[in-house]
Amino acid sequence: MLIGMIMLAVEWLFRLFKMSLSLPEAIPQLLARNVIHLTISMPTGFVSRRFWNTWTPGSHVRLSIPSIGLLQPHPFTIASIASDGNIQLYIRARKGLTQRLYEKTAGAILSGRPVGLKVHFEGLYLSKTPSFQQFDVVLLVSSGIGVTFTIPILRDLVQHVKQIEEGQNCRCKRIGFVWVVKHQGSFPMKNLLIVAELSWFANELSNILDTAYGLVAMRLYVTRDPEVPFTPLDNQNDDDAELEKPGYSVPDNVVPYLRIGRPNLPGLVQQAAAEAKVMGRLGVATCGSRDINKVVKKAVIQNLSKDMPDIYCHAEGFDY
């Protein structure tokens, strides 16, 4: 009994120590589909900087915001990579802390007040997955906000493949990136698809396509209203110039990778397995709805064979 109480006290003291390391400021931004984008500058103190200076793709933090709930830490996946120099979180507002965070940010923006928030980190929790740099072929599957788990893996792989000539150890030769999203609706008076969720990482996807052509096979699936054809916003006629363009435009180099409808996930896993039979090891990561994760895991099992005896698969669930 006494030992248990001592261990509990030590655990809480350690939590308080980590929380006291710094009070960094988070800059919130409201995005499409009730998502808050938090950009958190890294602490400047020597001890704090050493403690928070690195993480691996797939890591998460437990975060609390004193102004809206000091004793309510929530886990959030880190959507940035360590070389960015800041922690970026994408939080979908649902209820409780996340809803209060959305309302506080919206209220500050509407009133013209500063929107910076002081935040506490209870801890930095590294990913349970091995480094995907050890796989020759990588398949990343996500839906909705689950992309915050797969996109840092993608960016980390692209970065390390570029650094191979500088002595970095990365086996990856092929990356399949699948993101299933929903669109917000049609552009007024036109059959133009407005994909709100793509706006979260439109610039990152565009940059990856510019710098990693031939390495990344990108597939972006839009699942609602498949009868509505997609037309790039920039292809409007001059007669439509007076119409205001929505804020969810898609970069030109991303447009060719949009597909209307649901993905054939078993077929995509089978294709990745076929490539891995030629190139080497296959690593699969999925972060989506329960159904998507289930289909991917089942497809991985079905592709195990004598000439492909080992496929690594990690399925990550999400709540926010």
Cβ atoms within 10 Å of 262's Cβ, excluding its own: 12
Q: Which segments of the chain belong to CATH 3.40.50.80?
A: 132-316
231, 195 Cβ separation under 8 angstroms: no
pLDDT band at 241 (very low <50, low <70, confident <90, very high): very low
CATH match of 132-316 with 3.40.50.80: yes
Of 28-32, 68-72, 228-232, 294-298, which range is least confident?
A: 228-232
pLDDT digit string, tens, across residues 256-309: 899 888 999 999 999 999 999 988 899 999 999 899 999 999 999 999 887 777
What is residue 234's predicted lDDT score, i.e. its pLDDT? 41
- Mean local confidence (pLDDT), 311-318: 86
Question: 92: burial class by Cβ within 10 Å (0-12, 13-18, 19+)?
Answer: middle
Is the pLDDT at 236 greater than 70? The verdict is: no
Q: What are phi and psi of 136, to 5 degrees?
A: -75, -35
Is the pLDDT at 17 greater than 70? The verdict is: no
> Under DSSP, is residue 63 helix (H, G, I), strand (E, B) or coil?
strand
Q: Which segments of the chain belong to CATH 2.40.30.10?
A: 12-125
What is residue 223's predicted lDDT score, i.e. its pLDDT? 86
Is the pLDDT at 22 greater than 80? The verdict is: no
- Mean local confidence (pLDDT), 189-196: 62
pLDDT digit string, tens, across residues 135-167: 999 999 999 999 999 999 999 999 888 766 554
Of 87, 15, 10, give the one whose Cα is nearest residue 52: 87
> Under DSSP, is residue 78 helix (H, G, I), strand (E, B) or coil?
coil
What is residue 317's predicted lDDT score, i.e. its pLDDT? 78
b/e map 8-43, b = 16+ CB within 10 Å = eeeeeeeeeebbebbebebebeebbbebbbbebeeb
> Under DSSP, is residue 152 helix (H, G, I), strand (E, B) or coil?
helix
- Mean local confidence (pLDDT), 238-261: 66
Protein fold of 12-125: Elongation Factor Tu (Ef-tu); domain 3 (2.40.30)
- Mean local confidence (pLDDT), 27-47: 81
What is residue 80's predicted lDDT score, i.e. its pLDDT? 94
